[in-house]
Each structure stands twice: as C-alpha cells, then as structure tokens.
Structure 1
Amino acid sequence: MLQLPKPLANLLKAGVLVATFIGGNFVFASAAHASENAAVSKAHLSLASELFEISGLEQMVNAVPEATRSSFEEALASRMVPGLMAELEPSALLSAVSTAFNAKDLSRTIEQSIAQSMSQVQLDALVQWYQSPLGLRVVAAETQQSQLLYPEKFIEFQQQLSLKPPTEERIEAIRRLDEAMSVTTSAVEAMLNMQMAFTLSIMKALPEDKQVPADVIIAQSEAQRPLLEAHYRDLSRDSMLFTYQDFSIEELHELGSIMREPAGGQFVDAINKGLEKGIFDASATLGELIVQLHHYQQSSI
C-alpha cells in the first residue's frame, strides 16, 4: 500500500483534536458511507450555521487548509515529498493542495451535516449551552489551547508532562472524556480512511500491472489498526490534557456527561459525518489533481 504522504500524516497528527469538544472529529469513511444530502429549510440551516460558529468549530476548520499547505511546504523544503508528488513543480503541487483543501467546501459540508442530523430542539439546546459559563470556557480552550492552532505550545506542554505528570485521577477523567467523544477511535479511522482515499486516487496513475485492487488496499490498511490505536490513544490523551489543562476534574466529568446526552451525542455524530465526507473528498481530490498534473507534465516532455 502506498504510504500516506508525510504532509497529510502530519496534518492528521496536528488535527486529531481540531475540535476536541465535539468528539474526535477527523473520521473518514469510504464514499459508500458518505451521508446523503437531505433537503433542509434555510432557517434550519441558518441555526446549524450559528452552532457551527458559536461552538468555535468554524475558527478551527478555517485553520485546516493553511495547516495542510504549511505541512506540504515543510515537506518540500526538506525534500520529503514522495512518489508522484516529488516529480511535480512545487508551485503546482501547492496549488493542488489549496484547491483540494479549502475552508469553504469543508465548512459547507459540515454545516449541512449538522442541519441534516440534528433537530431544531437539539440545535437550540446546544446553542444555549455554548453560551453557558462552561460552554464559553470550552470554546475558549478549544481556540486558545488548540493543538491544531498552536502546535508549538502543544510540543512544549508535552515536554513538561514528563517533568510534571498529571494525576491518575485526571488521566482517568480524560480517558472517560475520550470515550464520550470517540476521540481515539475517530483519529484511527481518520488515518486509515484518509490513506485509502489518497491511495485509491493515486493508483490510477500507475501502470495497470502495478495497480492494487481496492479490497487489497482496504485489507492492508486495516492491518495497521492495532498500531494506530496505540499511537493515537497516547496522542489523544496528551492533546486533551493540553486543551483542558485549566479544567477541574468535576468540569471534565460534566463535559463528558453533556456529550453523552442526546443533543451532544448527535452533534458528535453530525460533525463526524461532515468531516468524514469533507476530508475524504478533499484527500481523493488531491490524489486526482496530482495524477492530472503528472499526466500533463509527462505529455509536455
């Protein structure tokens, strides 16, 4: 199986908790599992957009395209871009990245998923909750102590953990919060399915005798699951410790309870579905653009 390009792998590591509160997020699935577009009223979509904005998710999603492009720029500078991408002009590759990963499409997909998945009562309940004292603190933590937005601060925090480790009680509270939000599970699905999307797209550019059947790609990807689960369990724990470092044990338990309620759980599902479709599509689009650019360059020689 083709290895996931380092920039995309780095993006996943940086974005595991793009919005920790809403539950693990970067979950990707095959196109067969993408949610259908259901018709929703403008008023309902407007309320979903309000929740998307007031929750702080909009700010974090807006950071994803720049984080993706920056990761590719770093890989290009260090000559760590593999395969077909290494054969492309850097400016063309970065243009393809910006086209595939754009905040407008990703935001629209997530907002539509929220609107399609949640009732007006659920939307109203969460909009009100985000304006509560704890809700406001969660948004502040997600936007001011986000691993995605402030990776340098997160690295410093990780280094301090070895010098001043958290109590067992806090680790257990974070573990339970991880379960409530499906953070680790979602991160694993993210890596597996993002890699599949990219690999299936790139495979089209290979000679027919070197192409690998889709079922083999899926099986090879699934074989990586145990190692990924161990890796992301630790990364999710550290990320959540970073984001919620100023929260008491009681507040962590309360937050977990909110996520286990119907409205909170439905919000988690809606975000996961929106991100699964948006990021999976972006990964596949990037692969297709790279193939097109490769063919164009080959025909120009």
Structure 2
Amino acid sequence: MSVVEITDGAGKHLRFVEFDGKLYPKFSIDVITNMKSLKLRKDDIIISAYPKSGTHWLFEICRMLLAGRTDLQAISKSEFFIEKVGQDVLDQAKSPRILNSHVAFSDLPTDLAVKKPKIIYIRRNPKDLAVSFYNHCYKIPLFDYKGEFKDFIELFINGTVEYNCWYKQVLDWEKVIDNNTEYSILHLTYEDLKADPIAEIRKISDFLQVKKNEELIQGICDACSFAKMQTRMSHVFPDENGKSKIYRKGEVGDWKNWFTVAQSEWFDRVYRERMSGSKLKFRYSLDEDAK
C-alpha cells in the first residue's frame, strides 16, 4: 500500500492511497487493509454507493427513522465509514449500527455472507455525479486538487479517481441485485429520492421495518431537505460561510451548467459503450423519465 499521485491532462494532481490495485482517500492504511475482515452484526444496516450518490442524505434519513424522531444530534456518516473507522471504534457503537461504504460489493467485509445485514444501495446519474465529484475533489484539502472540470472528467471516465471506475461499480451492483437470492437489498436512486422524498422515505421505512408513522416521515422529509442538511452538517468540512463543503447544490440537472454540448455528447458515447447490455436507467432532470 502506498500514497500515489494521479496527474490530469493539464498536469494537476490528486493524491490517493492505493491498495490491491484500487484507489482510496488518504485514510488509515491499517483500516483499509483490514476492511474486508471487519466483523459485522446481524442487525447492521449498510449504506453503499459510489461517492457523491447521496449517502450522507440517506444516512440521516435512516438515523431518524430508527430513532423515531428528527431532533438528533448532528453527526457525520464518516463516524461509521468502514474504509475510515477501525473495528475497535465501530465495536463501541450501539446496535443497530448504520455503516456506510463506497467500495464495490466484492470489497465489502466477507462477514457480509455470514451475518447478512440489510443493505441499502443508492445510485445517481453519472453527469451530475461527475460534477459533484469534481467539486468534492477541488474543495476538500484531502485531495489537494486544483484542476479544471474538463480535465477531471477524463480522470472520471478512465477510473483514475478514488474508488476507481464508476461504470464497473454500478454494473457489478446491477449483477448483484439481479442475481441476488440471499441478501436483503433495497435499491434506490438519488433522483427518485429528490423527486418524491415522501414515497422513497416510506420505502426505506418499510425496508427497515419501522412502524408506520406518516407524521415522522413528513418530519424527516423536512429535516433532511438539502438546505437544512447543509446548515445542520456545517461542522463537516465547513466553508467560509459556515456551510458544509460536502453539500454544494444537491440538484438534479446541474450538469447542464458544467458540460459543454461536445462534452455531453462525448460522455453519452462513452456511456453507451461502457454500459452496453445494462438495463439500468437514469434520470438527468426531474422533468424526464429515466433513460
């Protein structure tokens, strides 16, 4: 395992930790090395997604559903991030734990096959995700990146970013979900959660077997709105205005403000090539059907 420097087409760099041929944020080498051997509990809930797909949002929704209230102390999902937090710390957390990860399904702890905890997987359209990912890498000091978006999207498409190739990861998850006969997996999309949060929070509530409570669901919808989350989580990488850098816009369709027509067409061509044979559909704005 080593710290590696990835350079974009303009010579700007990002820094990661490399382990087993895969790129991770600069977290503890010991934690990343021992991640697959992490011991789970049967009542754990694992939130999984490629970065910038909505896991912070989903983490708060799940916390409030399990607690049955919205006035919880704000904490970051990073406190239960299995690539970052070791076994000794996670063992101190009360059950049920809401763990989270950005790794591929095959890189999750092997104990998954034994304990079979509930898994919530969320995905997001790749254009908005690429824009959010760029801003994440640009603004968070951990990555030390000051490149331009046009150069970053080449890194994204080539999979030379943290957690590597988006295309491969979502395709692998598609296979896991389609062929699953043993795991309890709830599959969500960022766009559906944005378009109809009440309906999606109901799905999550049912999946977690939380007693029906429409007042609570409405309260969570309000408490977990983007504007409130941006302020509520201001302690996580705060900016000069006292808001979290993790929460930038949270919109569907913001990619139109970043991609040129040529870049969008190129991105679409790559998508068709890489996702050939996939049945997955994505929404690139809230006023269109998934395609």
Superposition TM-score tier, normalisation by shorter sequence: under 0.3
User: Which structure's CA Rg is the greater one?
Assistant: 1
TM-score, structure 2 length as denominator?
A: 0.27
TM-score, structure 1 length as denominator?
A: 0.26
Question: Which structure would you say has the larger RCO, counting Cα contacts within 8 Å and 6 or more residues apart?
Answer: 1
Higher percent of residues as strand: 2
